[in-house]
Amino acid sequence: MREHSNDIRIPQDDERIDVTDLKEVDYWTHWFGVSEERLRTAVASAGTVKDDLRVYLGLP
């Protein structure tokens, strides 16, 4: 299990998720309130657009 950094960086593109950037993964897991595994599964199924992921994850 990867340790989460206290240095969570806001992504340059706040509409798309880059799961190859571990700092972005930390940011988006916190933002969506999901695990890294859940985020990666959602991206694999719904793509990298934040609003599409929000819908896929069933969030308001």
State the pTM of this model: 0.81
Asked whether the beta carbons of 35 and 29 are under 8 A apart, the reply is yes
Answer yes or no: is pLDDT of 10 > 80: no
Work out the angle between the directed axes of helices 36-46 and 22-32 (0-180°, nearest 10).
90
Answer yes or no: is pLDDT of 22 > 70: yes
pLDDT confidence tier of residue 13, bands split at 50, 70 and 90: confident
Answer yes or no: is pLDDT of 12 > 90: no
Q: Give 34's contacts (C-beta < 8 A, 6+ positions apart).
A: 42, 57
